[in-house]
Structure 1
Amino acid sequence: MSDADGFGCEHRRPSKRRRDGPDHAILPVSREDVLMGHPDDPAASAAADEESASASSYLGVVAATSAASAAGGFSCGAHFFVRATDSRTVSMHAAWGDTVGAVLAHLADRGYGRDLRLVYAGRQLAPETALADLRLPPDSTLHLLSRLRSTPYPDAWQLASYIASTAAAAKSDPAHTSSAANINELVKEFILCAHRANMRQRHDRDSPFDAQPTGDHAAQYLEIFRQAGAPFALVRLYAANPSSASHHHAENAIKCFLTTDPSALPPDVLPVTAPVLLEFCRLLSFSVGKRDELYISSRSMLASVLCLPSGLPPSIKSPSKLIEQVLPFAEEIVGVVMDELASLDMTVSSKNLEDLSNFFKVLRQQALRWVPNGGPLPKNLYNSERGHNDTWVWKLHEMSMNLLNRVDECLKRLEMDLSLSSENRGVNVSQSRWVARSHMLVMLTQLDFISMIYEDLAHNLRLVLLAHRDPLNALVRCSKRNEHLHWLVKHKDLLCFESRRNLVLMMLPEGKDEYGELHEMLIDRQHLLDESFEYIIQARPSELRSGLFMEFKNEEATGPGVLREWFCMVCQALFSPQQVLFSPCPSDQQRFFLNGTSAVDPLHLKYFIFSGRIIGLALMHRVQVGITLDRTLFLHLAGRSIKLEDISTADPVMYASCKRILEMDAAVVDGLELTFSRDVHELGSRRTIELCSGGKDLHVNIRNREHYIDLLIKSTFVDSISVQLTHFVRGFSDILVDPELQKVFFEFLDLEDFDGMLGGSNSTINLEDWKLHTQYNGYKEKDRQIIWFWKAVESLSIEQQRQLLFFWTSVKYLPSDGFGGLASKLYIYKVSESADRLPSSHTCFYRLCLPAYPSLKVTRNQLQKITQEHVCDSANVKLKLGYASLFSTSRQQKLAWNQPETGVLAADK
């Protein structure tokens, strides 16, 4: 049967199979190369030219000896056989004027690859030679072989070609199915050979002793594996007969590239498997369809590998080309996810969600490489009306917009659920229900990444979030740590305090529950600050992030209650003015900023690291310590600039002076004779600091006074404490899961948010809220002892109520949301003790042990005794701090404690 181009071919299988094919015969590749082209190898080209010259000389001799009959002896056309690389024999018909190159091109069009050669009588035939010049006898057999290469990896070529030919033989002849039984082991051996090549590179004489193996050689090995046609042969074998043994052998061989087991796929080889995986994905999707499990696994593995730091193919330097090849697979997974979102429960499988995230990450990275100046792109570049609907730029935009529209529909459904479920707009909706919807946040996150590229996508995303604030907040409040939601800082105005708080708490470690992995401390109360400093400053950040376990010396109490008390005591001591590390604001003695004169203490920089760590640990353990930071320090931590209004609390005198300067007439400003400098008093001496170069000689006038005030604020609240601030930030960042997120942590919060998280609530304790969050054991709510108890509490002063709460729970400052923000409810336990016994507490469990007092008067007297500061804030741990022992009144009266000016509570010697 002849083709239009003059060639005809048919396949036949000889009755007796020949076994003279060379070991390096390769399987044809039926489609264009996927990740990498076949660049001309100079060495290979030279070898081929040499072979062609040799063959040409041989053919020239043949032509010379029979020149007279060359034209007329073969008038009926050429008929010959070609022994192909898949062990099949092809019967071909051609015109005598056709060349060897035309025959090769015809075979390539039939799926036998383009990097091949024809051999006859042991000689390679030159592509430009006409068939008539070959003087082929009738029914001659030519051999189709791989092109001989000059390569530094001959073993790789031989093994890859053997894998391809073995798979091809098993596909072509069922009698050779048994030969495919070990193809899985052959592929494993090939992968290990690639790994060993990397290891040899590591141990080269010129390599550093501690150099890690790279994927350079492995990448070459896998490219050889692909060029040799092994992926094509394995996929053909897999698709041939799903019920055959060969099908399972091919499946196991392909799965060698789909494992994360380092013993089967070494870590240095895994990142360079992307070209092979992409080839598998292409071939499998064409041959077995997109619902095949092996194809789905291959697509998922491709997404994972491309996201690795070195997972991108080194031969592709054009981001556009890579996007074009990856985008079809991303469109598939987006379609699957959108179908899942359209279901009644809107559930998306975790694997599909992971694949979507991985593909979006790769697309975003490559698109940002392609976009000028990092984007976004103007809309006219992806407007379908302008004929751009066949480009990847348009396709990626269209895919993202479709996904955003589907997410918008889902958020509408969630908002309807909120309105039907609760009058409080979702406050009481089951948390587990919203956790199950957390995949919405993952998709919003991926869409935000892509919105960096398209100017209208970012706008539409903002509109969707604005339209669905309630479900957005419900999702964020219930989100978990494995979700990367830092992008929401751009939309913090849409988030409630609980959502913002949850976002920043996810940046802090959870700590360990096992005591063996906690950082243990044994603290002497009389040396509280010094010993705490040594324990914290000498610990590695990873140890602190695991959590803390501490005891006070000569005390039996342990647990969270002791830890809460320690935090409060250390912070009170650390922020004391006697430590000269921090200065209190004149109008708020619990609000502090960095002290620019802290250098009087030679250890002050280490203490600032210690301070940052303590603040981070207190937030990590959810302990409110009654300390807050001034706005100037908070803005520093958030990376924001400080304006005049921001210094009003830290330095009201300077604030008032600057305000007056801005309001003065020109003559008055000139009369002040101010210059761009300021005087600083340190250790009894005075020195002048210029606010700018030549500031001493630059006078302040009505034209430059605003600039003067800006420089004055910068010098006072930024430059003077820059070193201290750097060390404080370093200490705080040590506690974060990712130290790079320090600024993001504070950007998410307003100062009032941070006040509530660190300082707690300074407002009056709500007695009704206290009762609502208290449960009873041995008592009932209507028992007279409980009624007397709450009446006695109501009669206490605000400070006494705080002392009682601290005695009961080691919580002196409630969270901003009151008792509902505590880790558990409070408990009152009935104990069988005489009326002269004081209450005791288990602070770890928020448990107060209350004897059955006979009257309101006795109850009030006993509570007043335990609310004395020397009882609540002392080392009387057998009376409090989570250890159930009772002390008599006479014993307590013998305890004498003093309160040093530093705020550290210590026992008299």
Structure 2
Amino acid sequence: MSSPFKTLTVIAFHKQFIADHHPQRIITDSTPSSSTMQKRPKTTSSRLQFFVRMMWECDSLVIRASREDTVETLLIQISFKIKVPDVYLRLIYKGKQLQIEQNLGECGIENDANLQLVGRLKSIACPVVWKGTQRVVSVILRLCRNEVVCDAEGLIDNHFKKYMDNPEYFGVFMFMKIPALLVNLLMSPWVSNKTIADSSIKQFVQKSLEMKCKTLQGLYIEVVLEFCELLRGVGCTSDNLLYVYCRDSFATLLGHVGVIFRNSKRRVLLQGVSYCVREIADGLLKYLDLSMSCVTSGEISCSDVRGFVNFSTPLRKGISEQHGESEDCGIYYAEHPWLAGVVDQLRIVFDQLLSKMDECLQVMENCLGNKEQGEGDRDAIHSGRSHYLYILKELYHISKLSSGAEEMFWGVLLRRKNMLSYLIVRYAERTDDHRWVLENMSVTDFESRRHLALMLFPALNDEVLGYDMLIGRSQVLGESFEYISSAKPESLEGGLFMEFKNEEATGPGVLREWFVLVCQEIFNPKNALYLACPNDQRRFFPNAASKVHPLHLKYFSFSGRMIALALKSKVHVGVVFDRVFFKQLAGNYITLEDIRDADPIMYHSCKQILEMNADYIDTDVLGLTFSVEVEELGCRRVIELCPGGESIVVDSKNREMYVDLLIQNRFVTSISKQVSHFAKGFADIISDKRLEFFQYLDLEDLDWMLHGSENAISVEDWKAHTKYNGYKEIDRQISWFWEIVGRMSVEQKKVLLFFWTSVKYLPVEGFRGLASRLCICKSNEPENHLPTSHTCFYELCFPPYSSITIMQDRLGIITQEHMSCSFGTP
């Protein structure tokens, strides 16, 4: 190895075996899309076109570059084309070696000039690596000539094991073009050679995947890509197991390395990743075509879905990184030479897939709306479409990369809102990240947003014993506070079990009743924890004067836990939050319009200040300064809204600031501790997802989840969701029952429903939203007995009364509100 050109003779020796993979005699600098070619400016005085001739090959490269480009940039570009690391390359012009830090203008290179490319070994400090690699090259060449080599597969495998961890090895491996040799061996007519080549390529790729050093993985990822390109060059497609293995491994390595553009010298060929995206997208389009069949069995392979995401993710992140920006910061264009055509090609893929998804969702909607299909049939129809959400999520990210794509994406989803919501409720999984839908909540409905929010709660942990409580009705708030506040958060993951003192009933029905009773006490204005809005007595926000209670902050933590547990248990407790409270829990800023219900007097006063004539307010007729007088525990004191605020007069120039600071003081600063402790208690139940929970919803969504339906109870809906046990729908007792219920007052219906189910507030969907259908059961008791209920199972039991008068009398007794909680059993 005394001569630095010795390996060039090896290249010449096996050139005949790689010629099939480089058939072109002239290699251009890129293969851009037609749209990119149309955009490319014509050659000007600042642009150069010249020829680079390789001393060890007969081919020439046609290079286009700017006079401002450096020699180093040029060498990197050339290295990608000839698959030789740039550290081993040198350029000669007019007999002189060009220095890498020079730009082409400084080198005096003229248009249509000829340059020579030579190879020089970077170092011979590791001659054993070069000798070992030459030995493997010799083995492969002998096999290609059909010579017998004992244990050739073992020799190649041991060579990889021995040298792949050596940083010198990558350059030698690529310089000797071993990937091309192994693919040539794979294509030889002898089966034994195919087996050896297949195994050797897999061994190399597997060792690349298993490497602990990301720096080395960042080098070998280029080799794996080289194998993909060479295998495609000899006709291997997605049906070829070796090609798919290399392509999938390439995607895995992209995930390990993290980014495509690691530094200015070592890059993964972006066009190669782009090709994989286009190739897999073609398979994905076929998958989507199959999924549109209303008879699909759901057994279609989803490998193309995973593959598309695996390649598209690093590709779009690489494009963003090359621009030095976050991928969500704006629109990108392929101006950089390494991005030429890539963004355009990705946009074509985006347009094709989005159009196909639009078609798929339309077909899906037609199938769901087909009244000839039964419920069971519809379940089978859509079992093959569980991956639509993954595709849409990736298209959302891709839409960030080109102009107009986002508008197209959200336009399709808005048009297919019903189907997107159906997919979320049906297929969204707890482990997935669905935050992308938050960017445009108008494309989802309440049911899907509720589903996403509730999935943020941890699943019920069967390994944790249930938390038992025994509580007296007369002390329901205080005793519940002691139980829930003292519990460790993890002890509440296994569910709650409680019973009231001196009562036999237990189970979910009693638990629902307990939630309602406790929350009504928490938000009772008499307890001074929360204030009701003057304009809407159902709405509450923290009371700044709650400090009159020495344990008030602990009670706010307790109330946060209670609300979270009620939401997790899907119990409607009959209270709702005011907007100023909801927005703070979601991490949003409070504005003037947000305080309309919480303090209508302050709202109108601030509106007047903002709308007053500027000259009038500048006369200081209002006498306002940046301060406010408050009363705390019977004492009045002045609070400055900003430093020195008491001496700053409000005028037409600073009145907007004054109003904003006034609002922040009244509805943020003064209750910040209360909100913080509520949020902490809520987070105890939902872990670190508290902010995300409230961001998934709008205020009306949370209203429906906490309070339930505002509509009057529909007897027809009630009847439609009731079944019978022991009775038949045509029995006279059943006819009497519904006739009597139909004549009941609104309050009597609510009491009957509560007696029957322990549900005081129906879900917004009505009876359809309950956990199960209601049931009327025939009891064997004599007719002088009152009806009873099993609230856990939504069962109402009564004997076969002999007349409607007797039944009406018995139902009238149990629909008295003070009696309704005395008859329920588990």
How would you bin the TM-score normalised by the shorter chain? 0.7 to 0.9
- The Cα shift of 1:677 comes to 1.3
Q: Distance in 1 between matches of 2:536 and 2:205?
A: 62
Q: Distance in 2 between matches of 1:163 and 1:533?
A: 75
Contact 2:321-2:327 within 8 A present in 1 as well: no
Relative distance call for 1:680 and 1:11 in structure 2 (3 A) is closer
Contact 1:627-1:758 within 8 A present in 2 as well: yes
Contact 1:829-1:850 within 8 A present in 2 as well: yes
Contact 1:435-1:479 within 8 A present in 2 as well: no
Q: State which of 757, 769, 790 in structure 1 corresponds to 2:705.
A: 757
Any stretches of 5+ residues in structure 2 without a counterpart?
Answer: 1-7, 23-53, 62-81, 89-96, 98-119
Q: State which of 352, 355, 374 in structure 1 corresponds to 2:307.
A: 355
Aligned counterpart, 1:522 = 469
Check if 1:880 corresponds to 2:824.
Answer: yes
Check if 1:421 corresponds to 2:370.
Answer: yes
Contact 1:808-1:843 within 8 A present in 2 as well: yes
- Deviation track 1:581-602 (CA, whole Å, cap 9, x = no partner) reads 3222234333211222334445
Contact 2:504-2:825 within 8 A present in 1 as well: no
SS at match of 1:175: coil
Contact 2:270-2:339 within 8 A present in 1 as well: no
Aligned counterpart, 2:439 = 490
Contact 1:185-1:253 within 8 A present in 2 as well: no
Q: Distance in 2 between matches of 1:220 and 1:776?
A: 80
Aligned counterpart, 1:683 = 633
Relative distance call for 1:376 and 1:603 in structure 2 (3 A) is closer
Q: Distance in 1 between matches of 2:236 and 2:215?
A: 28
Aligned counterpart, 1:410 = 360
Aligned counterpart, 2:117 = none
Relative distance call for 1:782 and 1:378 in structure 2 (3 A) is closer
Aligned counterpart, 1:499 = 448
- Deviation track 1:181-223 (CA, whole Å, cap 9, x = no partner) reads 5866876x669x96xxxxxxxxxxxxxxxxxxxxxx9x88888
AA aligned opposite 1:357:
V
- How is 1:24-35 mapped onto 2 (pairs within 5 angstroms)? none
Aligned counterpart, 2:227 = 280
Q: State which of 698, 704, 722 in structure 2 corresponds to 1:774.
A: 722
- The Cα shift of 1:382 comes to 5.3
Aligned counterpart, 1:328 = 275
- The Cα shift of 1:776 comes to 0.4
Relative distance call for 1:840 and 1:302 in structure 2 (3 A) is farther
AA aligned opposite 2:229:
R
Q: Distance in 2 between matches of 1:229 and 1:556?
A: 82
- The Cα shift of 1:453 comes to 1.9
SS at match of 2:400: coil
- The Cα shift of 1:470 comes to 4.4
- How is 1:283-294 mapped onto 2 (pairs within 5 angstroms)? 283-287=230-234, 289-291=236-238, 292-294=240-242
Check if 1:369 corresponds to 2:318.
Answer: no
Aligned counterpart, 1:150 = 125
Structure-2-length-normalised TM-score? 0.74
Check if 1:806 corresponds to 2:754.
Answer: yes
- Deviation track 1:406-434 (CA, whole Å, cap 9, x = no partner) reads 3334344445556x62599x999935544
Aligned counterpart, 2:534 = 586
- Deviation track 1:122-180 (CA, whole Å, cap 9, x = no partner) reads xxxxxx9xxxxxxxxxxxxxxxx9997436xx999998888777666655555336442
- Deviation track 1:464-485 (CA, whole Å, cap 9, x = no partner) reads 3344444444444434225544
Q: Distance in 1 between matches of 2:510 and 2:13?
A: 88
Q: State which of 824, 835, 839 in structure 1 corresponds to 2:772.
A: 824
- The Cα shift of 1:353 comes to 0.6
Check if 1:696 corresponds to 2:696.
Answer: no
Q: Distance in 2 between matches of 1:596 and 1:116?
A: 69
AA aligned opposite 1:367:
I
AA aligned opposite 2:149:
H
SS at match of 2:824: coil
Aligned counterpart, 1:451 = 399
Q: Distance in 2 between matches of 1:428 and 1:692?
A: 64
Contact 1:30-1:112 within 8 A present in 2 as well: no
Structure-1-length-normalised TM-score? 0.68
Relative distance call for 1:565 and 1:232 in structure 2 (3 A) is farther
- The Cα shift of 1:765 comes to 1.3
Which 10-residue stretch deviates more, 724-733 or 223-232? 223-232
AA aligned opposite 2:348:
E
AA aligned opposite 1:522:
M
- The Cα shift of 1:564 comes to 2.5
Q: State which of 664, 684, 702 in structure 2 corresponds to 1:714.
A: 664
Q: State which of 464, 469, 478 in structure 1 corresponds to 2:412.
A: 464
Aligned counterpart, 1:395 = 345
Aligned counterpart, 2:517 = 569
Aligned counterpart, 2:799 = 851
- The Cα shift of 1:251 comes to 4.0
Aligned counterpart, 1:551 = 498
Q: Distance in 1 between matches of 2:327 and 2:557?
A: 39
Contact 1:29-1:232 within 8 A present in 2 as well: no
- The Cα shift of 1:815 comes to 0.6
Contact 1:181-1:249 within 8 A present in 2 as well: no
Relative distance call for 1:686 and 1:250 in structure 2 (3 A) is farther
AA aligned opposite 2:449:
R
SS at match of 2:148: helix
- The Cα shift of 1:753 comes to 2.0
Aligned counterpart, 1:617 = 565
SS at match of 1:511: coil
- Deviation track 1:559-590 (CA, whole Å, cap 9, x = no partner) reads 43343233323322332335433222234333
- Deviation track 1:707-748 (CA, whole Å, cap 9, x = no partner) reads 432221121112222233233334434544762xx5554344
Which 10-residue stretch deviates more, 354-363 or 574-583? 574-583
Q: State which of 387, 390, 396 in structure 2 corresponds to 1:439.
A: 387
AA aligned opposite 1:283:
L
Q: State which of 242, 251, 268 in structure 2 corresponds to 1:303.
A: 251
- The Cα shift of 1:396 comes to 2.4
Q: Distance in 2 between matches of 1:323 and 1:492?
A: 34
How much identity, in percent, do the aligned residues show? 38
SS at match of 1:837: coil
Contact 1:381-1:388 within 8 A present in 2 as well: no
Which 10-residue stretch deviates more, 724-733 or 442-451? 724-733
- The Cα shift of 1:530 comes to 5.3
Pair member with larger Rg: 1
Relative distance call for 1:337 and 1:651 in structure 2 (3 A) is same
Q: State which of 320, 333, 337 in structure 1 corresponds to 2:284.
A: 337
Q: Distance in 1 between matches of 2:487 and 2:208?
A: 34
- Deviation track 1:267-288 (CA, whole Å, cap 9, x = no partner) reads 9899766445334323333345
Contact 2:737-2:807 within 8 A present in 1 as well: yes
Relative distance call for 1:162 and 1:699 in structure 2 (3 A) is same
Aligned counterpart, 1:204 = none
- Deviation track 1:245-300 (CA, whole Å, cap 9, x = no partner) reads x54455455545777999x7779899766445334323333345123112113212
Check if 1:789 corresponds to 2:762.
Answer: no
SS at match of 2:309: helix
Q: Distance in 2 between matches of 1:708 and 1:540?
A: 44
Q: Distance in 1 between matches of 2:596 and 2:355?
A: 47
- The Cα shift of 1:516 comes to 3.2
AA aligned opposite 1:286:
G
Q: Distance in 1 between matches of 2:674 and 2:603?
A: 23
- The Cα shift of 1:779 comes to 0.5
- The Cα shift of 1:301 comes to 3.0
- How is 1:861-900 mapped onto 2 (pairs within 5 angstroms)? 861-873=809-821, 879-882=823-826
How many residue pairs get aligned? The number is 728
Relative distance call for 1:344 and 1:608 in structure 2 (3 A) is closer
- Deviation track 1:61-108 (CA, whole Å, cap 9, x = no partner) reads xxxxxxxxxxxxxxxxxxxxxxxxxxxxxxxxxxxxxxxxx9977999
Relative distance call for 1:635 and 1:532 in structure 2 (3 A) is same
Aligned counterpart, 2:153 = 180
Relative distance call for 1:603 and 1:157 in structure 2 (3 A) is farther
- How is 1:603-614 mapped onto 2 (pairs within 5 angstroms)? 603-614=551-562
